[in-house]
């Protein structure tokens, strides 16, 4: 599963904003009573996937690059982002270990990507300019 998130400084803030309640343009008409009211939409997790990927949008609405570091944990516990009524057995494992990261340097028109991948407690950097190994 991939979650596309707007940059907010921390991964937790980005997830919280993505899942927050948002007003929807127009009205909602209740199928039971026929009454119209303002509509809102929000998202919650009922079941979590085996793997989760976060795509952080680093460009604003007019395509300017958003600068600043993103703070993220090495282990993400998604339990805080699930419904309170969810059966724990249905939910499954809520903790995800970070094992890969892709970083973009440059502008929307040009740039360079560097990938970091963790294997056996060692972080590898994949960069077509050079290659290094960074131990944890």
Number of domains comprising the chain: 1
Output the pLDDT for position 98: 93
118 in any annotated domain: no
Residue 132 lies in a domain: no
Can you give the length of the chain in residues? 136
Determine, yes or no, domain membership for 108: no
What is d(CA 60, CA 41) in angstroms, rounded to the nearest whole number? 22
Nearest 5°: the CA angle 124, 122, 77 is 100
Residue 103 lies in a domain: no
Domain that holds residue 81: 2-98
Cα torsion angle, 65, 66, 69, 71, sign: negative
pTM exceeds 0.85, yes or no:
no
The mean per-residue pLDDT over the stretch 11-22 comes to 91
- The reply to whether 123 falls in a domain is no
Each residue of 66-119: pLDDT tens digit? 888 889 899 999 988 888 777 777 777 889 999 999 988 888 788 888 999 999
Does 106 fall in a domain? no
Asked if the structure places residue 56 within a domain, the reply is: yes
Would 120 be classed as within a structural domain? no
How far is 25 from 125, CA to CA, in rounded Å? Answer: 45
Q: Is the model's pLDDT at 135 over the cut of 70?
A: no
Average pLDDT, the chain: 86
């Amino acid at each position: 599963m991939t979650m596309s998130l707007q940059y907010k400084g921390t991964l937790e803030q980005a997830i919280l904003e993505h899942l927050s309640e948002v007003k929807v343009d127009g009205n909602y008409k209740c199928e039971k009573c026929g009454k119209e009211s303002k509509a809102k939409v929000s998202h919650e997790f009922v079941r979590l996937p085996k793997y989760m990927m976060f795509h952080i949008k680093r460009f604003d609405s007019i395509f300017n690059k958003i600068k600043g570091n993103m703070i993220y944990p090495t282990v993400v516990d998604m339990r805080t982002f699930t419904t309170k009524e969810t059966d724990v057995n249905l939910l499954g494992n809520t903790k995800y270990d970070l094992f890969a990261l892709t970083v973009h340097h440059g502008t929307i028109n040009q740039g360079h990507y560097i990938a970091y991948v963790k294997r056996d407690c060692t972080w590898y950097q994949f960069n077509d300019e050079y290659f290094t190994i960074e131990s944890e």
